[in-house]
Chains A and B, each alone.
Chain A
Amino acid sequence: MLKLCNIKKQYPQFQLQCSLEVPKNCITALIGPNGAGKSTAFKAILGLIHIDGGEIELFGKPFCALTPQDRTRIGTALCNSGFSGYLKIRDIVPILSQMYPEFDKENFLEKCRHFDLSLDKKINDFSTGMKAKLKVLLAMSHNAQLLILDEPTVGLDVVAREEVLDMLREYMLSGERSILISSHISSDLEGLCDDVYFIHEGQILLHEEIGTLLDCYGILKVSGEQYNTMNQTRLIRKKKEIYGYSLLTSDKQFYLENMPELTIEKCSIDEVIMMMTKGEIL
């Protein structure tokens, strides 16, 4: 569905260099700390910035060969951008009807009512949560095959967040569809995504299926002595702690079977992010 082949973007103090793939019927997450390059990657995919190298392929076509018709197959929600705040939802409906042949007006209006989004209020007067809901609804309103969602749940309360995530799950049930999503709320991604890319300082440091990440990755808590004597071949990162070291492994089972005396914990996406950014490469 979407392929980034070694794309490069050079800024005076930052360089993005990454490859990434979003297959059909998959929800792929792009995670990383602030300033890691997530938004730059999203902007490159949407053609909002000019890349210095590499290739972007969408629906099997090079990006430069995409027609406006191809672009109707993309639904976008950007965290810091949207329709002018001086417009109302009622104003947006005819705009979308003109731009997207498959815009489902009835369904969109029904979803707006469901989320208590007033049709006659200026978007500027919406709360942060309401704006976030509207952005996701807009992205899903025209039967897009690929959704590109940059922080879609930011500003939402727990209930609304779960409702939005349910909508995304439901969205994936019909047809060949894919989602590329970024979020700071790792619990959202754990229950939603199929695979995850971890980006840091403009580089992809890790790509793993979410199931593998949660089942096979683990944190070992070891003393200095234990660290010196243990098998280190399956370790990815090391971080100094008061008691010795915390270690990130991609093969928790190996240590459970061979070194049962070690303290081995399951790890969340947040802990992987923490270890990948703060830990020492092994």
Chain B
Amino acid sequence: MKGLLIKDWKLLKNQGRFFIVIIMISILISLFGSRTYSGFTTSYLTFALSMFILSTLSYDNYDNGMAFLLSLPISRKIYVKEKYLFALFLTFGFWLIFFLIDLLVFSIRYSSRESLQILCQSPVYLALILLFLSYSIPLHLKFESEKGRMMSFGILGLFSLGIFCIVRLGMLAALQQILTESLSMIIGASAVFCLLSFGISYRISVKIMEKKEF
């Protein structure tokens, strides 16, 4: 598995300049962006960068490369395990980088109460990103790059539509009320739900890979 992790790390490193640019943008937004979008923008960038895990799946599939990869001394289960580990490593890694940037910049720009308010949103975005990866990885493994990507974003679109409907129907205030009243319970439940989704997603992905032919 270490060999596969090195492979994905090298693929990531070859895109180094792109990641440096994104981190610079994040710093600039935190420094000069409006307060409303500060927390959201950096979380959105975490989301964009975490998508790289899906790109590694595309790179592996490119030019029928998966056939060669699976002829190496690794099992299909190890391949899937590596992808999930890399996804966790990447998402937490980027999230932590952006969180620390925000923490530093907001402590300069805003009062400590305001900073805390913005930063509290950050774990929620992290949970959402993990949830997105939980259904996207199996879809990419099953349907491969283009189709998988379209389906992932289709589901994301439906999710966004759901949020939009909640806002339009005036249920946002009620939702916010529930969130405020039982915040710690909701955070705990979300964490458990995310980990559970990730675990279930892993098992589904192993099944998909074991059935697949190359």
Q: A residues touching B (Cβ–Cβ < 8 Å)?
A: 43, 46-50, 68-69, 71-72, 74, 76, 78, 80-88, 91, 94-96, 98-100, 122, 148
Contact = CB atoms under 8 A, between A and B. Distances in A.
A47 B115 CA distance: 54
Given A68-B73, A86-B59, A91 B10 contact: yes
B33 interface: no
Top 9 A-B residue pairs of the complex, sorted by shortest distance between their CB atoms:
A98-B3, A71-B73, A91-B10, A99-B3, A81-B68, A76-B71, A81-B67, A68-B73, A48-B214
B66 to A, nearest CB: 8
Contacts of B163: none
Interface in B46-92: 59-60, 62-75, 78
Q: Which of B14, B60, B65, B74 has the most CB of A within 10 A?
A: B65
Contacts of B72: 71, 76, 99
A234 to B, nearest CB: 42
Interface string B170-214: 000000000000000000000000000000000000000001011
Contact of B70 (A46, A82, A85, A87): A46
A81 B64 contact: yes
Nearest to B74: A68
A87 B10 contact: yes
Interface residues of B, number: 28
Contacts of A78: 64, 67-68, 71
Contacts of B75: 68
B70 A80 contact: no
A81 B65 contact: yes
Contacts of B213: 43, 48-50
Interface string B9-45: 0110010000000000000000000000000000000
A94 B74 CA distance: 16
Nearest to A72: B73
Contacts of B3: 95-96, 98-99
Nearest to B60: A84
Q: Which of A47, A84, A88, A96 has the most CB of B within 10 A?
A: A84
A71 B71 CA distance: 8
B214 A43 contact: yes
A46 B213 CA distance: 11
Contacts of A98: 2-3, 6
B7 interface: yes
A68 B108 CA distance: 53
Contact of A86 (B2, B14, B74): B14
Q: Which of B4, B60, B68, B69 has the most CB of A within 10 A?
A: B68
27 contacts: A43-B67, A46-B71, A49-B214, A50-B211, A68-B75, A68-B78, A69-B73, A71-B73, A80-B64, A81-B63, A81-B64, A81-B67, A82-B63, A83-B65, A84-B7, A84-B60, A85-B65, A87-B11, A87-B14, A91-B7, A91-B14, A94-B10, A98-B2, A98-B3, A99-B72, A100-B73, A122-B14
Contacts of A69: 73
Contact of B10 (A43, A47, A80, A95): A95
Given A48-B213, A87-B7, A95-B3, A82 B73 contact: no
